[in-house]
Structure 1
Amino acid sequence: MKWPSHGSNPQHLFKSMGLALPEKYIDFSANINPIGPPPLLKEKWNDFYQEITVYPDPFAEKLKSRIVESEQISDDTILIGNGGAELITLVARFLQGKKVIVVEPTFSEYEKACRANHCEIQYHQLKEPNFVLSMDELRPSLPSADALFLCNPNNPTGIQYSVSRVLSIIEECEKQKCFVILDEAFYDFLIDYHSFIPYINRFSNLIIIRSMTKMFAIPGLRLGYLAATPDIIVKLSTLQPHWSINTIALLAGELCLQNKDFINKTRSYIREERERLFTFFNKNNFEITPSQVNFYLLRDPFLKDQFSLFEFLLHQGIIPRHTFNFPGLEGNWLRFAIKSKEENSKLMEVLLEWRQLH
């Protein structure tokens, strides 16, 4: 069976399963902010209409200046992109033909983009159920590698790696002349996060990717940015299509970065709902990963594989993210986003029904 490679767009999942898409369903497969976009975006939306006849700023200077102010770095260390996907693609082009390590399980786009650019891929597989990242286990692979992809906090597990562990990896990779591509797409969902962006001034091998579509719930607009040394930024920018970020996305990004209260509100909500959900899962003997963000992996430990649970949920209008295309998971877990209180309660209701039947 050919499984969809991403969450969201559930019609493709149901088609691959040979099922009709129900009229009512809850999509837990897309891990964006359940609160939705910042209210200020809706207030200003009509104003954006006046700008669609204007070519976007190819240098994204206004948005870049807001990021520079927030992160306290120079503007020549930032590259704005059309979502994390474009930035990953640019990095893969930059690494064309190189030897790349991907720390798995993780976002499939790293491998896909690198293979399209004729890179040699090597997996560093973390072991379930705790998915511990060990420097001792990783170190032997580094001398032969040109780059390493690491997602922190990790997608799909939701696990945050410690500052000391990530720094030790960056330091060791620098010794081995190996780039570290650190994907921080979900960093802003963490309550206490130690930013690695200041380290780009210390490590010439560090490339950081950040998405703005997750926290601000604007995946339809596509927006993100990358931080690295100025020479890397220059090389990546030459690979980027002109005007790849549209005017509306740039304007929305400027507004989103003003919403500190919105971010704090989101973090508090996610933490409360995660604790409520995890209490239920533990009580009813479901195994979960120790996620610290807005999604998590779940499985029924009494099953050999999770396909029967997956199918049951789909018939109940609950759509999780399958994990068949995550190396090392092969469908043995399901990923769920944290949604609204009502939607999370519905998930618990359906899982309780499953538990009573099994």
Structure 2
Amino acid sequence: MNWPTHGSNPHYLYKAAGIRQPAQIYDFSANINPLGPPKSLREDWDDFFQEIIYYPDPKATSLRTRLAEQEGLHKDQVIIGNGGAEIISLIGKWLTGKRVMIIEPSFSEYEQTCRVNECSISYFFIDHNGKIDVPHLSEALTDQDALFLCNPNNPTGIYFEKQVIEQILTICSEKKCYLIVDEAFYDFVDAYQSLVPLLNQFPNLILIRSMTKMYAIPGVRLGYMMADAEIVQSLQNQQSHWSVNGIALKAGERCLDEKHYVEQTRLFVRKERERLFRNFRKHRFDFLPSAVNFYLLRDPSMEDQSTFFQFLLKEGIVPRHTYNFPGIEGKWLRFAIRSEKENDILLEVMEKWRAIHQSSL
């Protein structure tokens, strides 16, 4: 079946599944901040509107400078993109024809953009507990030019601690391999340890970040990358002129001031995640120990979750399928943490499923 390759836009999912879309649906497939955008964006929107009559700064100098100052870098080590997706696409072009390894399961865009650019692709799979076997990875990395690692991992939600990343980074450095770490969900992690200080020590390290997830602005499209200045310049040489619009640039700067909003988000997500996991445990669902605003879940009584998946869709619950995640194809479903009300509705539907399908575990 030709499943959609990403979350959101549920009508495509219902069409692919051959299921009539209910009048009321709850979308758990897109991992966006359940609190919605910061209030300041709405309050300042009229000011942002003024930007549409001007061409945006093609070098995004103001936002780059703010980010560089925040992270203790030079602005030449930062590039702004039209969402993390543009950054990944630029990296794919930069790696044209190279040998690339992807730690799976992971975000599908890495493989897609690398295949478009005729890279040779191989996989390294995390174990069933969501851990990376670093010694085995070291053996597998022979003759690789670049390694993609999503941290926190999408779709598992598991966060790899800085010590593990440093081990992998050291191995990559010894093997003359770039380590590309996608940190799209880093700001949801309570105990996050920054990798930014490692950039000046390891010129083979590349960090990708998104601003659309934490700040709930996927329609604006905004992301950035931090790396060695030469790498940044190489990507800028490939980037389309004015690829990031003026409203996005202004919104990005405003979001950098929202420290309290980020803390509120982490607190809310943590409380809801713990509440959900207690209920899942009670009703005998398996889940992985996510550190962020989404998680993998399954009914352990069945290997393939397609029956469970179709039941949820008919009930108006839209999870993210996992058929295009190598290593877990269809064996789990991914759910975003939504509002308290939406999460309550999800739990009600889960209880309804369990009443029909009693687990023998």
Residue number in structure 1 paired with 2:327: 328
1:141-152 matches, cutoff 5 A: 141-152=140-151
Q: Give RMSD over aligned pairs.
A: 0.7
Deviation per residue, 1:298-343 (Å, 9 max, x gap): 0000112100100000010000000000001111000000000000
CA displacement at 1:20 relative to structure 2? 2.0
Q: For residue 252 of structure 2, give the secondary structure of its aligned residue in structure 1.
A: helix
The corresponding residue for 1:277 is 276
Number of aligned residue pairs: give it.
Answer: 357
State the alpha-carbon separation in 1 of the partners of residues 200 and 260 from structure 2. 29
Distance in structure 2 (CA, Å) of the matches to 1:88 and 1:17: 29
Give secondary structure in 1 for the equivalent of 2:53.
coil
Structure 1 Cα separation of the partners of residues 93 and 41 of structure 2: 33
Report the equivalent of 2:355.
356
Structure 1 residue 265 displacement after superposition:
0.3
Cα offset, 1:162, TM superposition: 1.6
For residue 11 of structure 2, what is the amino acid of its counterpart?
A: Q
Give the 5 Å matches for 1:93-242.
Answer: 93-128=93-128, 130-242=129-241
Whole-Å separation in 2 of the counterparts to 1:236 and 1:49: 29
What corresponds to 1:259 in structure 2?
258
- Regions of 4+ moved over 6 Å: none
Q: TM-score, normalised by structure 2?
A: 0.98
Q: Secondary structure at the match of 2:147?
A: strand
Give the structure 2 partner of residue 303 of structure 1: 302
Q: 1:355 is matched by which residue type in structure 2?
A: R
SS in 2 for 1:153: coil
Code of the aligned partner of 1:79: I
* Structure 2 counterpart SS, 1:356: helix
Q: Any gaps of 5 or more consecutive residues in structure 1?
A: none
Deviations 1:178-208 (A, max 9, x none): 0000000000001121111111100010010
1:319 aligns with 2:347: no
Aligned to 2:86: 86
Q: Distance in 2 between matches of 1:142 and 1:290?
A: 27
Query: What CA distance in whole angstroms lies between the structure 1 residues aligned with 2:339 and 2:132?
Result: 31
Residues 155 and 334 in structure 2, CA contact (< 8 A), matched pair in contact too:
yes
Q: State the shift of 1:127 in Å.
A: 2.5
- % same residue: 54
CA distance in 2: counterparts of 1:161 and 1:126, whole angstroms: 11
How many angstroms apart in 2 are the aligned matches of 1:251 and 1:53?
14
Distance 1:309 1:352 in 2: 12
> What whole-Å deviation, never above 9, does each CA across 1:125-161 have from its counterpart, x for those lacking one?
1232x12111111011112100000000000000001
User: What SS does the corresponding residue of 1:258 show, helix, strand or coil?
Assistant: coil
Q: Which residue of 1 aligns with 2:26?
A: 26
Partner of 1:7: 7
- Quote the Cα distance in structure 2 between the aligned partners of 1:261 and 1:145: 42
Other structure's SS at 2:180 match? strand
Give the secondary structure class of the aligned counterpart of 2:52: coil
**Cα distance in 2, alignment partners of residues 8 and 332 from structure 1:** 20
What amino acid does structure 2 have at the position aligned with 1:111? E
CA distance in 2, matches of 1:261, 1:316: 36
Counterpart contact for 2:21–2:314, Cα < 8 Å: no
